Amino acid sequence: MDQKDGSMTLEEAMDNLAIASAIEDPYRVGIFGNKRLLLQGEEDSEQMQGFWLTKGSAEDLIEIMRKTFVRITLYLKSLYKSDSIDWNQPKTRKGLQSMMVLVGESANKVDKAIIKVEGKDKKRPKIAKLSEYKILQEFYIDNITEKFTVAPPQGDEAWEEDQDEDTPVKDFESIRRDSEYELFYLKNTDNKPFFKRSLIKNMRLMFDFTEQIDVPLEDDPLLHIVTIKDRDLQGSAAQILRSIHTLVQEFYDLKIRLKKSDLIISLNHAIFSLMLAANEQNLIHHTVNKNCLKYFLDFQLFLKQALVSDDYQKWMSYTPGKSDKVARFLLRFTHKLAYEFFMRSSSIRQEALGYIHRLIRKGKEVGATSTKTSSFWEKLLQEHEQIKTLLDKYPSGPLFKMLDTMQGEEGKKTAVFEPIQQENTPFLLFSMQIPDKTVYLLHLPTPTKQSTLAKAEVAEEFRAFLAYLHEDTSEQKKHLLINLQDRTSWKENVRASALENLQNRAEYSENITVITLPKDTAFYHQIEDYEEIDNAKLFIETLQMQLEQPEDFGFFLSKRLENILDFVKKLLPLLHEQSFGKKKMLTRLERLDFL
């Protein structure tokens, strides 16, 4: 057998199988370094100009699959010869089964991708007919399965067992890339969950296989993120407490906490949770008990309970009179808590930078390329590759997260996709001082909650944040929400609509303006019908046309920004001239930079 595997590692081979088995749109598949497959959206894809799957590159894709099958065969042979493998261990059987699941599925998906790109007229042998595929399959069946007391199923058979065909989430790669995780929280139009028990089983098989990679799990760099996040939220809790100090003092001076009310009880618990989260003695490295991160999540939970309480809902519907000072104070206090929650600053910038530098250094130690570079961008790409080389040696972070999510949601009657409540916490990125005001830029996950594909609403915390902007008469505060979700997407449409409609409600209209600029469309990625539009003039005209007819192409521009199109018409030629030297032809990479 020809073993020219291009020095492909086992992790790279497994990545190739996972990506190949997930191919839906072949035009989003690329080839990098003659041994790796990448999907559109990965950082490395910026280096892949000219290597995207086209009619002329099917042979390259086939060659990658040949090398992948060779590498997997070599791995199986090393296992077969090893004296340290317990072949009757369930993890061994399940791990190898999950690998052969990917082998069978990848062959099928690659065949379909090639046919879609080249058409049915060009006859090519199926991937399963390749000699490398046959050698792998024969070795597995003839040698590996005989090691098992009970042989596991192979290839597609293993995947199809107990698999529900109407489950839309059934590929590992979309989960590993964290691109469809919200479907684990949603129900479809028939009010049924998207994932089935069979998917959980196969996810666990994949997890069992990753455990066999020969690295200590406790050294996984991703595990250190929890410690960094714990420190960050401890600092945030202390910051919020300083901002609300006067209101907390008033809350206890008025002895409001002694009144029996769900709103008051929730606010009291929220304050104590913040105090515990702000206490450095509760940091992870100081305690084995509940830590700052968990106390901060408690604060979020109690704030949510306050916002859905009967008293709060009643007073928001019927504004209390000036004589009801307690009710007016409680509303102001609740809204201030929500505002400070969104405006918290990150307190671990230096720690995060140090963490990134450690990843780069460790990536070099495990064999990543390290050469002198001639530009800042080349250095950036090299450091990214060093980080990726390190992380590829450990089980997928999103895979762990999905397993936790699925196991947690299995027993629940209802599931809701609500990023703000699921540890994607908003925070202040930076501020800019312009002549007469300060502009704040926030990291903001979609401030919505969604239970089914057909139903989404704006999260209570965000509505309370806007209510504070309206109440704060010290200066006129407005929020420009740039929604990056795709309003034409079957998953994101209702979330985008909920946000766009928010500015039409009287109580929020003065304080929020929404625009939608989707970042996961064929035009944004310059694929499909837009892949060959390399004429600069035609590209700019296409962009301008889409902005002039925004809702037909997934954009949304508030009527309050009706003059923005005139500005854009002047900006696009200027951008073309200043950044691209008025080039008549723009490569796909240049068009991506333009967008």
pLDDT, mean of residues 321-348: 90
pLDDT value, residue 81? 83
Going by C-alpha positions, the residue among 334, 335, 326, 338 that lies closest to residue 256 is: 326
- Give the count of alpha carbons within 13 A of 466, CB side only: 23
Whether 492 contacts 363, CB under 8 Å? no
pLDDT at 351 exceeding the cut of 90: no
pLDDT, mean of residues 206-217: 51
pLDDT value, residue 267? 94
pLDDT value, residue 400? 61
Q: Give the separation between CA 211 and CA 204, rounded to whole angstroms.
A: 11
Whether 373 contacts 383, CB under 8 Å? no
Q: Give the separation between CA 197 and CA 204, rounded to whole angstroms.
A: 11
* Average pLDDT, rounded, for the chain: 78
The DSSP secondary-structure symbol of 159 reads H
> pLDDT of 157-211, one tens digit each?
443 343 344 444 444 555 555 566 677 677 766 666 666 555 555 555 555 554 4
List the structure tokens of 527.
Answer: 């694929």
pLDDT at 393 exceeding the cut of 60: yes
pLDDT at 398 exceeding the cut of 70: no
pLDDT at 1 exceeding the cut of 50: no
Where does 346-478 show beta strands of DSSP type E?
427-434, 437-443, 448-452, 455-458
The percent of residues above 90 in pLDDT, for the chain, comes to 22
> pLDDT of 265-319, one tens digit each?
999 999 999 999 999 999 988 888 899 999 999 999 999 999 999 999 999 988 8
pLDDT value, residue 335? 96
More confident site: 149 or 358:
358
More confident site: 418 or 401:
418
- Residue 281's H or E segment, with its range, is none
Q: Which residues are registered as beta bridge partners of 345?
A: 428
pLDDT value, residue 359? 80
pLDDT, mean of residues 369-374: 68
pLDDT value, residue 2? 39
**71 Cβ contact partners less than 8 Å away, ≥ 6 residues apart:** 5, 8, 9, 10, 12, 13
Where does 385-511 show beta strands of DSSP type E?
427-434, 437-443, 448-452, 455-458, 479-483
pLDDT value, residue 510? 87
> pLDDT of 444-466, one tens digit each?
999 999 988 888 999 999 999 99
Domain spans, the chain:
10-161, 221-342, 349-394, 416-520, 528-595
Give Rg (Cα) of the chain: 27
- Give the count of alpha carbons within 13 A of 573, CB side only: 4
Whether 245 contacts 312, CB under 8 Å? no
Q: Give the separation between CA 117 and CA 112, rounded to whole angstroms.
A: 9
Cα–Cα distances (Å) from 69 to 5, 9, 153, 348, 389, in that order, read 9, 12, 18, 44, 21
pLDDT value, residue 208? 52
pLDDT, mean of residues 345-368: 76
> pLDDT of 60-119, one tens digit each?
788 888 888 998 898 888 888 877 777 777 667 777 877 887 888 888 888 888 887 777
Q: Give the separation between CA 335 and CA 215, rounded to whole angstroms.
A: 48
Q: Give the separation between CA 587 and CA 384, rounded to whole angstroms.
A: 23
Q: Give the separation between CA 193 and CA 183, rounded to whole angstroms.
A: 8
Whether 453 contacts 491, CB under 8 Å? yes
pLDDT at 155 exceeding the cut of 90: no
pLDDT value, residue 25? 72
Q: Give the separation between CA 214 and CA 490, rounded to whole angstroms.
A: 40
pLDDT value, residue 54? 58
Going by C-alpha positions, the residue among 240, 526, 480, 223 that lies closest to residue 355 is: 223
Going by C-alpha positions, the residue among 404, 400, 407 that lies closest to residue 217 is: 400
Q: Which residues are registered as beta bridge partners of 443?
A: 427
Going by C-alpha positions, the residue among 452, 189, 471, 218 that lies closest to residue 328 is: 471
What pTM does this model have?
A: 0.69
Q: Worst-scoring range by mean pLDDT, 45-54, 198-207, 235-244, 360-369?
A: 45-54
Cα–Cα distances (Å) from 508 to 214, 461, 467, 473, 517, in that order, read 55, 14, 7, 14, 21
Whether 18 contacts 176, CB under 8 Å? yes
Whether 195 contacts 259, CB under 8 Å? no
pLDDT value, residue 291? 93
pLDDT value, residue 408? 54
pLDDT at 492 exceeding the cut of 90: no
pLDDT value, residue 3? 39
Cα–Cα distances (Å) from 524 to 46, 483, 503, 579, 588, in that order, read 14, 15, 26, 18, 11
Q: Give the separation between CA 442 and CA 439, rounded to whole angstroms.
A: 10
